[in-house]
Chain A
Amino acid sequence: EIIMTQSPATLSVSPGESATLSCRASQSVGDNLAWYQQKPGQAPRLLIYGASTRATGIPARFSGSGSGTQFTLTISSLQSEDFAAYYCHQYNNWPALTFGPGTKVDIK
């Protein structure tokens, strides 16, 4: 099983600042990596797939990068609606797909 780790566990950011979230895979997943945003009491929402492709309707302030084992989600100029939990997800190792433990972005 591919183990996904995310850092930091919690990130405190002021509105308008940028946030950089990291995700690492225990072995290469190529670019088969997605990022999801989840707000309390809601289902996750797809932000990024293929490591760097924004999903439909996702604002340009969300960007993804990386390949292999190291990935980054950058949120530029955080808006109030961006404070949430973010999960990375590898879908390379079929059928043993795994999620990272998440990073919570809260208001500083």
Chain B
Amino acid sequence: QVQLVQSGAEVKKSGASVKVSCKASGYTFYSNGITWVRQAPGQGLEWMGWISPYNGNTNYAQKFQGRVTMTTDTSTNTAYMELRSLRSDDTAVYFCARGARPIDYWGQGTLVTVSS
């Protein structure tokens, strides 16, 4: 069965960077893109961007351009999302998910807490 398993919770200082991993199994990794979505506490879902494990192509939401980098490692079927220059309003649960149109399977989420 399709599974996306994410890395554990992180606590970071303002201005630091965080890198979240997402290990996929149960399907052919390079045949579907990986989308990243975040959810601030008590808030809705926010699309951050997408990466193709097949060729590394990325598309980022304009809001995160210049601050986010999404990568994949096809040797370990793992996707990564790095967010830099963290601010307090980046505190959120970050989800990886398979696909984009539509997103079908989701990881369990990774809580990133940014403190000053």
Contacts and interface: CB of A to CB of B under 8 A. Distances in A.
Interface in A93-108: 94-102
A89 B95 contact: no
A96 B103 contact: no
Given A43-B108, A44-B45, A89 B103 contact: yes
A48 to B, nearest CB: 9
B62 A96 contact: yes
Contact of A46 (B59, B103, B107): B103
Chain B, interface size category, equals 20 to 34
Contacts of B102: 34, 46, 49-50, 89, 91
A100 B44 contact: yes
A43 B107 contact: yes
**Which of B61, B100, B103 has the most C-beta atoms of chain A within 10 angstroms of its own C-beta?**
B103
A91 B101 contact: yes
Chain A, interface size category, equals 20 to 34
Nearest to B58: A95
A71 interface: no
B89 interface: no
B53 interface: no
Interface in A12-40: 32, 34, 36, 38
A84 B46 CA distance: 18
15 contacts: A34-B103, A43-B95, A44-B45, A44-B95, A44-B106, A46-B102, A55-B104, A91-B101, A91-B102, A94-B100, A95-B59, A96-B62, A97-B100, A100-B44, A102-B45
Interface of A: 32, 34, 36, 38, 43-46, 49-50, 55, 87, 89, 91, 94-102
Interface of B: 37, 44-47, 49-50, 59-62, 95, 97, 100-109
Given A91-B102, A96-B61, A98-B47, 7 more contacts: A34-B102, A43-B107, A43-B108, A91-B101, A95-B59, A95-B60, A99-B46
